[in-house]
């Protein structure tokens, strides 16, 4: 029976054909935020259904109250093999400002660059049609060469990722049994650099709180009342100013519960990434990592929790001066969570922290915004090691396991709703200009991305996906 | 030669005539903020010039780039006698919202109340036409009965008080020699209560500062940068939250330089005023004096300096949530000054206080707003005691010397430009609805106000105005 090598050869031989297929998909302007493009969004879904059926998947376009989902199944090598769920999205960002594009965003081209590389241009080339097709092409070659797939595979493609995914959670709940797998493969992220593939193993969680302090029942004149009346801005400043100690640690009781120190080997890998703190901060005219003392920028942003004031407002903020003591002061505060921090406990501890610092006559109202725990694959998880090895076999440099400071909602929903961990593997680059004019996807990303997925599928099939 | 008693009798006998004169002045809609009323403002000035000439003053309408001033002199009993300058303003507030008035604001009436008191209604009745005419009527009666005045008197009436007094300072500077006097008598304030006249001996000064902190050169995503990037809102909160200690004292170095403890006798008088802290605070739904511990509301607002944040702004403050780390944070801070605090030193010490607390990568810009020292007549000043005694002779209860938490710019300008102290004596009441619909002036204020000025003029003529 033909093996991985013949699958990889098949991918190489058929690269031009795969580019043509991607371009066909890119020509469909599946902009999900603009109702005028709803028929195009549906057309992209139908195109994908057709293509997946053509290679042997049982596929359907599944209705939602918004744009449809594409769900396709392939039994692969059978019951004994791991079940994986591949996630991507087939909708794209709007193209405004259209005048900044060098060409029609929906007339994709292959462009040869002076350095000999090629790129595929057009809206969605990187985000996320190019990325999702790397997986589809890997499956196509596997089935063509071997008659099957090394794993049982569900492909789940969303059409609302660029418009807030309103239908995603209900759909996951309604179709939990159908979609549940050993692991989700999510292809919507970047490589570490052009030679080094990356697996994102951690995403920070998020807790948002709006807080409003009220002192007097009306704005007061600071001459008449100043010195005797509580000033809610001053009090809010005092409370928010007390959230960090001199070493940058958050002072809210229990805040670091569930936050382990980074394992030495992970720290060593991250230290070895050659991340340039100075360049990262210098790009926004900062020079010094500001947060917890003695930790690198990568650790601060990937593995440490934060407490940030995202907005503050109170009193007179217009031109000139008004000698007012405001009745109310308002702030939006958010917490990025890591590892096992409990969003509910963080929220409650923060509220308690505030309440304990309120003087007489000052009341507080809280308003909760979101609350999601961090995602963290165990650093020693076997599936992670399997994928890491498979990617390392493909690229010039070994794959690295990285964190992400932000959140990707679908990953949290897979975890919460389906109890399913995610492997975030993507082949994009920071300069792909996603969401911007002149979006592009590197030909290397597309070609070696396909080969990467073939290797990952083969390895998961052999070693399992747990 | 007839004495004070005949002057007082004359005032009583002519009360109806004086009310008619006030009503004539009140019928002129001298709204200074609205250019459409500029001819009316001038008409009021001319009316006053005519009235003052009629009683023996040499009067002129003095041009400015804005509305004119009225300046009138009377040599009184001659060189050996004190020179006083009476200040009032003949312009009035706009009348909007006109629909909330019970009658035409410029058709003044005398209304008898169910409790037997009378009031004079109309825009400007209390602020400040009624008040200024109490002094004019006292002069009229003195001259009518005695042929002269017990002091040399200058009457200085402004037409721009309700529109920010743009011409006042230049006019004082240009006419300093003409206007300088031993003491200014300013009639634009209230009595302590209906039975107790008041002399305001202290006004707090004011220093305003706008402060803008800048960290990164653009707004940042709190997922990507959070934990590594300086947050200017948090830093601003920390700085502003550190301006007071746990006892409510301002922590800026040198802040209390030039702030003496209140003399025991003054404290005793203030304690004896029966000021109701609970009612004062309760009116705005506060219950506890918030500022410096162990001091009464009167002391806090009349004799103690403050540091207040009047406005704060930064980051995202709209609906919902945005996980941003702002580039900038902004606050407006003001300081109320007392006694001998130096506005320049306070400003510089605050700036130093901020600069010392800035971490790396965070810069600050300051923008100065105003800066005026406090006004404080020495509590044992003879002229104060003279006026206090004269007022006490007229009213059911002895006059009290009080402070004021706010500022009255003209008083500072008299001090700074002419080196002249001011006695603030007025007969208004807190319920006169100045600046609001249905403004009124109590007939008792008008009648006994005239008698009060007669007594004060007589006393100053006898005992001096130093």
Angle (CA) A18-A138-A158 rounded to 5° is 85
**β-sheet with A363-372: strand ranges across:** A363-372, A205-214, A328-337, A306-315, B306-315, B328-337, B205-214, B363-372
**In 3D, which of B262, B266, B275, B304 has the Cα closest to residue A228?**
B304
A237 touching B (Cβ < 8 Å): yes
**Span A357-378, pLDDT tens digits:** 999 999 999 999 988 899 988 8
**Span B396-427, pLDDT tens digits:** 999 999 998 887 889 989 999 999 999 999 99
Q: Between A78 and B357, where is the model more confident?
A: B357
Min Cα–Cα distance to chain A from B350, Å: 15
What pLDDT score does A269 carry? Answer: 84
Token pair recorded at residue A411:
């990953």
Token pair recorded at residue B317:
């403050």
Give the residue carrying structure tokens 């975890």.
A415
Please judge whether A301 and B244 are an interchain contact, meaning their C-beta atoms are less than 8 angstroms apart.
Answer: no
Q: What is the spatial distance between Cα A24 and Cα A18, in angstroms, rounded to a whole number?
A: 10
Residue B2 has pLDDT above 80, yes or no: no
B457 touching A (Cβ < 8 Å): no
Q: Domains of chain B (ranges plus CATH)?
A: 4-203+377-463 (3.40.630.10), 205-259+305-372 (3.30.70.360)
ipTM of the complex: 0.86
Q: Which positions in chain A touch B223 (Cβ < 8 Å)? A: 204, 206, 336, 404-407
Averaged pLDDT score across all residues of chain B: 95
Q: What is the spatial distance between Cα B151 and Cα B146, in angstroms, rounded to a whole number?
A: 12
Give the residue carrying structure tokens 């007669």.
B454
Percent of the residues in chain B that have a pLDDT greater than 70, as a whole number? 100
Residue B453 has pLDDT above 70, yes or no: yes
Q: Count how many pairs of residues, chain A against chain B, have C-beta atoms within 8 Å.
A: 287
Residues 6 or more apart whose CB falls under 8 angstroms from that of B206 comprise: A223, A323, B334, B335, B336, B337, B343, B370, B371, B372, B407
Using CA coordinates, name the residue in chain A closest to B316. Answer: A311
**In 3D, which of B316, B145, B167, B332 has the Cα closest to residue B231?**
B316
Cβ-nearest to A290 among B229, B306, B316? B229
Contact status, residue A338 vs residue A261, Cβ threshold 8 Å? no
Q: What is the spatial distance between Cα A435 and Cα A257, in angstroms, rounded to a whole number?
A: 37
Q: What is the spatial distance between Cα A58 and Cα A42, in angstroms, rounded to a whole number?
A: 18
**In 3D, which of A333, A334, A259, A335 has the Cα closest to residue A299?**
A259
What pLDDT score does B46 carry? Answer: 98
Using CA coordinates, name the residue in chain A closest to B287. Answer: A361
Min Cα–Cα distance to chain A from B383, Å: 26
What pLDDT score does A372 carry? Answer: 87
**Span B61-111, pLDDT tens digits:** 999 999 999 999 999 988 889 999 999 999 999 998 899 999 999 999 999
Please judge whether A231 and B309 are an interchain contact, meaning their C-beta atoms are less than 8 angstroms apart.
Answer: yes
Min Cα–Cα distance to chain B from A29, Å: 28
Residue A115, classified by CB atoms within 10 Å of its CB into exposed (0-12), middle (13-18) or buried (19+), is exposed
Q: Between B1 and B362, where is the model more confident?
A: B362
**Helices (H), ranges, A129-245:** 129-146, 168-174, 176-179, 232-241
Q: What is the spatial distance between Cα A391 and Cα A279, in angstroms, rounded to a whole number?
A: 27
Please judge whether A288 and B359 are an interchain contact, meaning their C-beta atoms are less than 8 angstroms apart.
Answer: yes
Best residue in A226, A231, A281, A301 to probe B by mutation, most B CBs within 10 Å?
A: A226
Question: Rounded to 10 degrees, what is the CA torsion of B69, B90, A221, B315?
Answer: -60
**In 3D, which of B89, B92, B79, B70 has the Cα closest to residue B154?**
B70
**Residue B378: other Cβ atoms inside 10 A:** 11
Residue A40 has pLDDT above 70, yes or no: yes
Please judge whether B242 and A240 are an interchain contact, meaning their C-beta atoms are less than 8 angstroms apart.
Answer: no
Helix (H) or strand (E) holding A243: none
CA A76 vs CA A30, A142, A273, B50: distances in Å: 30, 10, 36, 108
Residue B164 has pLDDT above 90, yes or no: no
Question: Rounded to 10 degrees, what is the CA torsion of A450, A451, A453, A458?
Answer: 140
What pLDDT score does A92 carry? Answer: 96
Please give the average per-residue pLDDT across B310-339, as a whole number. 94
DSSP A248-300: S-B-STTTTTT-PPPPHHHHHHHHTTT--HHHHHHTTT--S--SSTT--HHHH
Question: Rounded to 10 degrees, what is the CA torsion of A225, A227, A228, A230?
Answer: 90
Question: What confidence tier does B277 reach under pLDDT thresholds 50, 70, 90?
Answer: very high
**Per-window interface: B 185-204 vs A, CB < 8 A:** 204
Q: What is the DSSP letter of B234?
A: H
- Which pairing describes strands A220-221 and A324-325: parallel, antiparallel, or unpaired? antiparallel
Residue B132 has pLDDT above 80, yes or no: yes
Percent of the residues in chain B that have a pLDDT greater than 90, as a whole number? 86
Cβ-nearest to B241 among A217, A242, A290? A242
Cβ-nearest to A311 among B215, B301, B317? B317
- Which pairing describes strands B183-186 and B422-425: parallel, antiparallel, or unpaired? parallel
How many residues make up chain B in this entry? 466
- Which pairing describes strands B58-62 and A400-404: parallel, antiparallel, or unpaired? unpaired
What pLDDT score does A79 carry? Answer: 86
Q: What is the DSSP letter of A163?
A: G
Cα–chain-centroid distance for residue B57? 27
B367 touching A (Cβ < 8 Å): no
**In 3D, which of B56, B73, B188, B202 has the Cα closest to residue B134?**
B188
What pLDDT score does A266 carry? Answer: 86
Cβ-nearest to A228 among B239, B242, B300? B300
Q: What is the DSSP letter of B24?
A: H
Angle (CA) B146-B15-B28 rounded to 5° is 105
Contact status, residue A443 vs residue A118, Cβ threshold 8 Å? yes
What pLDDT score does A378 carry? Answer: 85
**Residue B249: other Cβ atoms inside 10 A:** 17
What pLDDT score does B1 carry? Answer: 56
Angle (CA) A102-A107-A109 rounded to 5° is 75
Question: What confidence tier does A1 reach under pLDDT thresholds 50, 70, 90?
Answer: low
What pLDDT score does B370 carry? Answer: 80
Contact status, residue A331 vs residue A315, Cβ threshold 8 Å? no
Min Cα–Cα distance to chain A from B303, Å: 10
Contact status, residue A156 vs residue A69, Cβ threshold 8 Å? yes
Q: What is the spatial distance between Cα A407 and Cα B13, in angstroms, rounded to a whole number?
A: 85
**Helices (H), ranges, B322-396:** 343-356, 382-394
Please judge whether B234 and A243 are an interchain contact, meaning their C-beta atoms are less than 8 angstroms apart.
Answer: yes
What pLDDT score does A386 carry? Answer: 97
Helix (H) or strand (E) holding B442: strand B440-442
Q: What is the spatial distance between Cα A301 and Cα A311, in angstroms, rounded to a whole number?
A: 20
A164 touching B (Cβ < 8 Å): no
Min Cα–Cα distance to chain B from A162, Å: 17
Best residue in B243, B290, B361 to probe A by mutation, most A CBs within 10 Å?
A: B290
What pLDDT score does A408 carry? Answer: 83
B342 touching A (Cβ < 8 Å): no
Q: Which positions in chain A touch B291 (Cβ < 8 Å)? A: 227-228
Residue A127 has pLDDT above 60, yes or no: yes
Min Cα–Cα distance to chain B from A309, Å: 6
Using CA coordinates, name the residue in chain B closest to A357. Answer: B246
A404 touching B (Cβ < 8 Å): yes
**Residue B18: other Cβ atoms inside 10 A:** 20
CA B387 vs CA A404, B460, B461: distances in Å: 75, 7, 11
Percent of the residues in chain A that have a pLDDT greater than 90, as a whole number? 86
What pLDDT score does B79 carry? Answer: 86
User: Percentages helix, strand, coil for chain A, rounded to the nearest 5?
Assistant: 35, 25, 40
Q: Between A406 and B297, where is the model more confident?
A: B297
**In 3D, which of B146, B149, B153, B151 has the Cα closest to residue B3?**
B146
């Amino acid at each position: 029976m033909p093996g991985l090598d013949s699958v990889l050869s098949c991918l190489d031989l058929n690269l031009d054909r795969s580019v043509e297929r991607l371009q066909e998909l890119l020509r469909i302007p599946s902009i999900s935020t603009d109702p005028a493009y709803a028929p195009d969004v549906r057309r992209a879904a139908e195109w994908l259904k057709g293509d997946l059926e053509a290679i042997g998947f049982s596929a359907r376009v599944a209705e939602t109250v918004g744009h449809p989902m594409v769900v396709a199944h392939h039994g692969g090598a059978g019951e004994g093999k791991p079940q994986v769920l591949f996630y991507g999205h087939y909708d794209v960002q709007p193209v405004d400002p259209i005048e900044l594009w060098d060409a029609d965003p929906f007339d994709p081209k292959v462009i040869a660059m002076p350095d000999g590389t090629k790129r595929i241009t057009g809206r969605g080339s990187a985000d996320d049609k190019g990325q999702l097709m790397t997986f589809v092409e890997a499956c196509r070659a596997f089935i063509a060469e071997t008659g099957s797939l090394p794993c049982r595979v569900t492909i789940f493609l969303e059409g609302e990722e660029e418009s807030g995914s309103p239908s995603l959670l209900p759909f996951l709940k309604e179709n939990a049994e159908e979609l549940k797998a050993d692991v989700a493969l999510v292809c919507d992220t970047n490589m570490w650099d052009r030679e080094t593939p990356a697996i994102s193993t951690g995403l920070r969680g998020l807790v948002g709180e709006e807080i409003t302090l009220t002192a007097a029942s009306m704005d007061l004149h600071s001459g008449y009342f100043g010195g005797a009346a509580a000033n809610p801005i001053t009090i809010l400043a005092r409370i928010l100013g007390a959230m960090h100690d001199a070493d940058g640690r958050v002072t809210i009781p229990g805040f670091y519960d569930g936050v382990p120190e980074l394992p030495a080997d992970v720290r060593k890998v991250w230290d070895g990434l050659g991340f340039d703190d100075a360049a990262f901060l210098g790009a926004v005219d900062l020079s010094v990592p500001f947060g917890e003392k003695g930790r690198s920028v990568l650790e601060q942003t990937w593995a440490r929790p934060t407490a940030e004031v995202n907005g503050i407002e109170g009193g007179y903020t217009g031109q000139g001066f008004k000698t007012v003591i405001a009745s109310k002061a308002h702030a939006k505060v958010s917490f990025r969570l890591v590892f096992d921090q409990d969003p509910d406990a963080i929220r409650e501890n923060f509220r308690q922290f505030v309440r304990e610092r309120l003087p007489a006559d000052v009341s507080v109202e809280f308003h909760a915004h979101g609350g999601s725990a961090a995602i963290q694959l165990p650093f020693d998880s076997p599936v992670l090691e399997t994928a890491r090895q498979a990617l390392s076999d493909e690229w010039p440099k070994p794959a690295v396991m990285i964190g992400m400071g932000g959140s990707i909602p679908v990953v949290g929903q897979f975890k919460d709703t389906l109890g399913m961990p995610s492997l975030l593997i993507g082949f994009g680059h920071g300069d792909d200009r996603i969401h911007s004019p002149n979006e592009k996807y590197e030909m290397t990303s597309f070609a070696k991305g396909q080969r990467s997925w073939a290797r990952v599928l083969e390895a998961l099939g052999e070693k399992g996906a747990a």
